[in-house]
Structure 1
Amino acid sequence: MKEHVRPLPSYLIQRYQGWNATTYTENRAWYRRLADEGQRPRAMVISCCDSRVHVTSIFGADQGEFFIHRNIANLVPPFAPDGDHHGTSAAIEYAVKNLKVAHLIVLGHSNCGGVAGCCAMCEGNAPDLQDDTSFVGAWLNLLRPGYERIANLPEAERVEALEHEAVIISLENLMTFPFVREALDADRMTLHGLRIDIGEGQLTQYDPSTGKFIPV
């Protein structure tokens, strides 16, 4: 391992030094308050790992405002206390039970590589993802029920439809967590399903009464 761990690239060091000399220095008291008093985020956001999805920029959020968890295709697994490692489920548990967030947001996006991969995998066109050793393929299996809902659509419409399903499936799976349902039933928290179009900058939200995504 020693020969592979290297110093941080100089361009990242320079960016850090710029942040430290400006943003941090100008707001030192606020950062120290965050450190001393702990975090009290108003919302948890479950989003994709995609580098183009900049959650805090989209909402103009400050440090300490969002508890963010990112994974491939912004998916939530169903509640399954089986003793295995569940990073996403652990993050949700901590946000709901410990941080007591008021809003739980699933944020999908356009041009999602994970969703496109799931679509290809479900159609038998992604042998790498279908391999038993693929962590990504195993993870994307969570979205197979969503693919079954849109499989009859024209091929050109399937990926975008499955991007919407990735949000809906995650909302449905969130409802299988007892502590999530308890917080919702007690009106301590609300669920939200969103999708951002990267190229157009358009944010839409899931409307359960119509089953459609509408502009915010």
Structure 2
Amino acid sequence: MSYLTAHSGSDGLADNSMEFVAFFSNKQEISAIEVDVRMNRERQLVLHHDILDEKQGYVSLEDVFAYIAREKSPIRINCDLKETGLEDAVYGLADKYALWPQVELSGTVACSYLSKWSNQILMNIENGMDDSFHGEHIGRWGENVLLEALAKLSRSHAKVININHQLFTDAVQEKGKQLALEFSLWTVNDLNAIGNYEKENIYNITTRKAWSYIQQKGVQIG
């Protein structure tokens, strides 16, 4: 059975907003929400995708954790780290609210954390590539590069690989099977594609149309 993650801003809600968090926190059909995490000058973890503008205010990750804890929501929180060195800070904040078992890390996660948190890391495939590939458009990553990255991450004890669904070729899928790896696919916005990936039992599917998919699925079942 696949997990379904609502990408930040799913279904027309504002990216990295409390409105987004609140909407999906009580949706039992949704497995997780994804938020983008950075650290501001005050050393606070905040939600934002791009480089921070210190003149603007952002939702804090602590506000998100406090809300989830207060609501006793079982939703998982995929913290997509947008800069390096945030792993321990996220852990400390999640532990403060007794939410660490519900937290997943993706993004710029160092391979060194796989040995202790492998079950909670959706390891981005680019983390297994040489630095020379970082910043390159994904369309320039050849299939051989992807296969080598899978092998490297497997040796580092990765269990789930986070990868753009457009790069999820037959060869990548087969290599993953050989290495006993699961896949987390982003960002799958075609509703039929989500259904097809669910039929394949892909570990996790991240989408900006999470609630739309659930509603369509309910109509079809009904």
- So what's the TM-score if we normalise by structure 2? 0.28
Question: Between Structure 1 and Structure 2, whose CA radius of gyration is higher?
Answer: 1
- So what's the TM-score if we normalise by structure 1? 0.29
